[in-house]
Amino acid sequence: MIDKRTFRLPGRAVALVLAGGRGSRLYELTDWRAKPAVYFGGEYRIVDFALSNCVNSGIRRIGVVTQYKSHSLLRHLQRGWSFLRAEINEFVDLLPAQQRVDEESWYRGTADAVYQNLDIVETYLPTPEYVVILAGDHIYRMNYAAMLVDHVEGGAECTIACIEVPRKDATGFGVMAIDDQWKITDFVEKPADPPPMPGKPDASLCSMGIYIFNAKYLYSELRRDIEDPESSHDFGKDIIPHAVKNGRAKAHPFHLSCVHAPEEGPGKEHYWRDVGTIDAYWEANIDLTATDPALNLYDRAWPIWTYQQQLPPAKFVHNQADRRGIAIESVVSDGCIISGEINRSLLFSSCRAHSHTRIDWSVLLPEVEVGRGARLSRCIIDYGVKIPPGFVIGEDPEADARRFRRTSNGITLVTQKMMDQVVS
């Protein structure tokens, strides 16, 4: 039975967003920015989803743990997340690598990242009773308050959010086994042969990288782990398996806290994506151009907050038979000026598509300029790239692979450095 303070659970918690990941499988997209700072969805950065879930869930004491290439991430957080009011104990606390173990040691794992900031977290007042650990590099909408209730009702020291994943795709996740009370009986990190779910031989139950701990238990476990010379100081590899071994962990099924818009039917997908590869990033962005996308960004009851420049509306110019600005099943953001044809594509802010251009099934990051008569197909064009007039990408696989980064699924990533080498 939950005590009478249950409705105040979010106020008794603090969230720590782990946003220091490099995101190496995104290749050049993370050369100059951490994965959580990568652009997504026309207006946002990836980290905005975890932060918006916190605010919308009523958790307004948030620490963001950063490390790799953090400048653009820190700048985004300072510009876009300063609306919380410190006077009423709301904040987004920026936690760069503290190097508290020794002067040359960066974070050695996700658990070490939290451990090195324990002295800061323990000073938060009122003292947190629960700590919500979040990855800052996933796309989803989730009510953490519902998960907090499940955590308290379950009586475990640690609760792990989980989602069903096709068994063939589960090798990159932590995979768990549970009993009929959702207590976790086994946990293995990134297995080569993922164990199936009971009665579902083609599916595995996987960790979403979202954990809720009783604060005192977490602090004790982190201090124990840091003294273990055999530990890699990682939640998935060390902290969670130890909690499972000692019977302290339970699973929380994502469908209990996944957020859907009121108008969406009961069969709507429980949306969660790790956009950690070029192909997954392209697919998740392009899906937003669908008439009924899997992810609803138009739900005003659960908004995704971000920093947005003050820009004029998108504009479509010219109205001649062979020269007409048009967009079909596409997302076109503020500040764009279009005088070519856009099909099933997503354009971030301040892009330019000059006359006679054709852009199909492509993602253009902010301030991309596509020159007159150029053609793009199945591309990701990085921030600020200038595509020369008449240039064609996406129609000759061999040429694209020589000049740019092309995936086995035929998605071509283009940066300005690549383009400079081509046209020099």
**Going by DSSP bridges, is the β-strand pair 184-189/174-178 parallel, antiparallel, or unpaired?**
antiparallel
Spatial CA neighbour of 113 closest among 76, 67, 79: 67
Per the annotation, does 355 bind a ligand? no
Per the annotation, does 57 bind a ligand? no
Q: Are 293 and 42 in contact (CB under 8 A)?
A: no
Rounded to whole angstroms, the Cα distance separating 274 from 135 reads 10
As given in the structure block, the two tokens for residue 366 are 């902010």
Q: Is the peptide bond before 126 cis (omega within 30 degrees of 0)?
A: yes
Per the annotation, does 174 bind a ligand? yes
As given in the structure block, the two tokens for residue 122 are 């323990």
Cite the beta strand spans of 11-65 per DSSP E: 13-18, 39-40, 44-45, 61-65
Phi, psi of 387 (to 5 degrees): -90, 120
Spatial CA neighbour of 376 closest among 354, 391, 386: 391
Rounded to whole angstroms, the Cα distance separating 35 from 123 reads 29
Q: Are 290 and 283 in contact (CB under 8 A)?
A: no
**For residue 404, what are the contacts with CB-CB under 8 A and spacing of at least 6?**
393, 412, 413, 414, 418
Segment holding 400, helix H or strand E:
helix 397-403
Number of Cβ atoms within 10 Å of the Cβ of 95: 21
Q: Are 141 and 302 in contact (CB under 8 A)?
A: yes
**For residue 1, what are the contacts with CB-CB under 8 A and spacing of at least 6?**
none
Number of Cβ atoms within 10 Å of the Cβ of 183: 17
Spatial CA neighbour of 115 closest among 225, 243, 228, 231: 225
Q: Are 377 and 409 in contact (CB under 8 A)?
A: no
Per the annotation, does 189 bind a ligand? yes
Helix (H, G, I), strand (E, B) or coil at 113: helix
As given in the structure block, the two tokens for residue 138 are 């996933």
Per the annotation, does 335 bind a ligand? no
**For residue 30, what are the contacts with CB-CB under 8 A and spacing of at least 6?**
22, 23, 24, 38, 69
**Residue ranges of the binding site:** 107, 174, 189-190, 207
**Residue ranges of the binding site for alpha-D-glucose 1-phosphate:** 107, 174, 189-190, 207
